[in-house]
Amino acid sequence: MNVKDLFQEEVEPGLQNWINKFESPVDMLNSLEELFSDVKGQKILGKVEDKVSIEGPVFIGPGSVVHSGAVIRGPVFIGSNVSVRPLCHLRKNAYIGSNCVVGKGAHIKNSLCLNGSKIQSDTFVGDSVLGAGVRIGSGAVLANRKFNQTRVRIMDLKGRTQLTAREFLGSVLGDYVRIGANAVLSPGTIIGPFTWVGSGVILQGTYEGDLYIGLKQELDIRKKSRRKLRSGEGEYEEV
């Protein structure tokens, strides 16, 4: 899938013009540093609470709030009206568009998150592109590196693979994709717009838009005897 198939929601003109230069979302990631060329020093137009650690060039737009305990290592761009919740870690080349939410303890590096994306608590988003209005459920992982540390392959909708030049490559999610809690997306996963992925799913490959992808599990339900177990008192339970 190309960029026009994945990202159709309009964003700010300057960012839109940059996106329109590309056909491949991998090429977007390869050129991501271009988005930070105007981020010089630290310009903070929003609110930064106490006990936030900021280093390097960082832009924080008006109406945005960075909550206590967050760590930001620039270059990082945070648009307008963004909520960066406590204990987040935003690393080099994290671009967070306007009206996004970065949940408590989320970790984002070298990624483009377009307007209105919501990355819930305790997630990892690395070397990825998130379209407008994407939702990432709590505990989900967008893995960005293979175990054997070789270059990542991507797949087209016909199952044909292409070897990229990237050792670090996460996921590309089209506009309004939703990823359920504790899902894991393997390196190089591409998902078309408006597709929903259920909780706990593990994905690898490329999936078209307007799908629901979920797990069917078989439950083991049987009778058991009642037994009161020790609940313990204080810090340690004594036998």
Distances (CA, A) of 180 to 46, 111, 119, 128, 137: 30, 19, 11, 17, 5
pLDDT, tens only, 106-132 = 999 999 999 999 999 999 999 999 999
Superfamily designation of domain 3-213 = Hexapeptide repeat proteins (2.160.10.10)
What residues form DSSP beta bridges with 60? 44, 78
- What are residue 95's phi and psi, to 5 degrees? -115, 115
- What are residue 140's phi and psi, to 5 degrees? -70, 150
pLDDT for 229 beyond 80: no
Element (H, E) at 27: helix 25-30
Which pTM does this prediction carry? 0.91
Residue 236 has a pLDDT of: 59
pLDDT, tens only, 144-168 = 999 999 999 999 998 899 999 999 9
Instruction: Map out the domains of the chain as residue ranges.
Output: 3-213
Residue 238 has a pLDDT of: 55
Mean pLDDT, residues 40-59 taken together: 97
Residue 217 has a pLDDT of: 86
Residue 36 contacts residue 17 (beta carbons within 8 Å): no
- What are residue 90's phi and psi, to 5 degrees? -110, 115
pLDDT for 71 beyond 70: yes
Distance of alpha carbon 167 from alpha carbon 150, whole angstroms: 6
Name the pLDDT band for 73 (thresholds 50, 70, 90).
Answer: very high
Mean pLDDT, residues 70-74 taken together: 97
Residue 43 contacts residue 8 (beta carbons within 8 Å): no
Residue 155 has a pLDDT of: 92
Residue 193 has a pLDDT of: 98
Residue 237 has a pLDDT of: 55
